A = this chain, B = another copy of it.
Amino acid sequence: MSGSTYGTIFKITTWGESHGKGIGVVVDGCPAGLALSEEDIQVYLNRRRPGHSKFATPRKESDAVSILSGVFEGKTTGTPISLIVHNEEQRSRDYSEIASYYRPGHADLTFDMKYGFRDYRGGGRSSGRETIGRVAAGAIAAKILKQLGVELFAYTKSIGPVQINPASFSLEECLENPVCMPDKEAAQKAEEYLSQCMARHDSAGGCVECVVKGIPAGIGEPVFDKLDACLAKGILSIGAVKAFEIGDGIEAAQTVGSINNDAYQYDSDGKLQKLTNHAGGILGGISDGSEILLRAYFKPTPSISTPQKTVNQSGENIEVSIKGRHDPIIVPRAVVVVEAMTALTILDLLLMGMSSRMEYLKDIYLK
């Protein structure tokens, strides 16, 4: 297999290359009876669409999605939902040159080593356009989760050295700036930083944080399919992610147990509360009902027009400047991808959890 299927019950299979005919996804295992329109999916795709801002590739793509199957009279039927986005502006000529050499920081070399050759047009299957299928499927997952009371949202936490200030946090602000930061001041600093990078023909990285509210307790499987383990896989499967944290993450490794443990308390209504949430909502791989908090760290976009040393397939050491239309940073467009992978992962484990107790079986089959 080439690893293009994700999930066990809510199972998605993506396909397509940057400069092929299109990009698509088949969603198998969507429960029947969900109201679903192309518009539900399009709003998610629009969040990752190129051409929005000066910090995103100028490639023009409408990324308009079509539902080809699995929906009848406005509702999901329980059968596979096939979604397609046609590629419109495939300027393959931009890429003809890169056929002969290996771009540093890209998957050119490793695809050649794995498969013997590669579709070199725009990164082929390793292009960021591959995430269209994830986001389209993630939109469906998020809609189901919402009906179960689960909401999730992601935002840019940092770009290069610029961090958001938790004290200035405003989720609405994300929509107001091109870097998707929930902090107006930080966003301005990040824009300045990015402008400097672009002026130097360089690129930047950053961090996306994702919050999940309203998840039922008990989601995630002990041992290998822990909720945090599955989230880590989902997040690291996004190209360019180099690190993953849940809750306090790396900081947890530096503190002591008496600080890191989250104490429990019944509130005045007898409801179980955690006094802190260092764990990020997961204990033993299973959700505890509190907020889930995770972070994805993205490396700088590898495509830069600064000259770089590399090799070509004729055995020569050469120097190259990458041309073409590239994002100086992918973080703002990746925010919705992180959200999508989080939604897909949580939904699949939530469906898996339906068989965790004999009483649940009886609820459904003996009613």
Contacts and interface: CB of A to CB of B under 8 A. Distances in A.
A297 to B, nearest CB: 4
B275 A309 contact: yes
A306 interface: yes
A118 B77 contact: yes
Given A14-B223, A72-B119, A229-B237, 13 more contacts: A3-B223, A4-B80, A5-B5, A17-B70, A32-B115, A105-B261, A114-B286, A125-B223, A229-B236, A253-B299, A257-B306, A264-B310, A364-B364
Interface string A352-363: 111111111111
Contacts of A80: 2, 4, 13-16, 125
A286 B107 contact: yes
A308 interface: yes
Contact of A4 (B28, B246, B316): B28
Per CB-CB distance, the 4 closest pairs between chain A and chain B, nearest first, are A107-B284, A3-B221, A3-B225, A203-B257
A88 to B, nearest CB: 14
Contact of A105 (B31, B275, B279): B279
A113 B217 contact: yes
A357 to B, nearest CB: 5
B126 A284 contact: yes
A355 B358 contact: no
Interface string A337-364: 0000000000000111111111111111
A17, A288, A366 pick with most chain B CB within 10 angstroms: A17
Nearest to A246: B242
Interface of A is mostly: mixed
B20 A1 contact: no
14 contacts: A3-B28, A3-B223, A5-B11, A13-B26, A21-B69, A33-B357, A77-B118, A110-B288, A114-B218, A116-B359, A148-B361, A229-B237, A250-B250, A360-B364
Interface stretch (A46-54, A172-180, A183-191, A265-273): A265-273
Interface in A75-131: 75, 77-82, 84, 102, 104-107, 109-111, 113-119, 121, 124-126, 130
B270 A20 contact: no
A110 to B, nearest CB: 4
A243 interface: yes
Contacts of A158: 253-254
A168 interface: no
A228 interface: yes
B69 A300 contact: no
Contacts of A297: 249-250, 252-253
Contact of A8 (B8, B204, B252, B363): B8
A78 B237 contact: no
B225 A232 contact: no
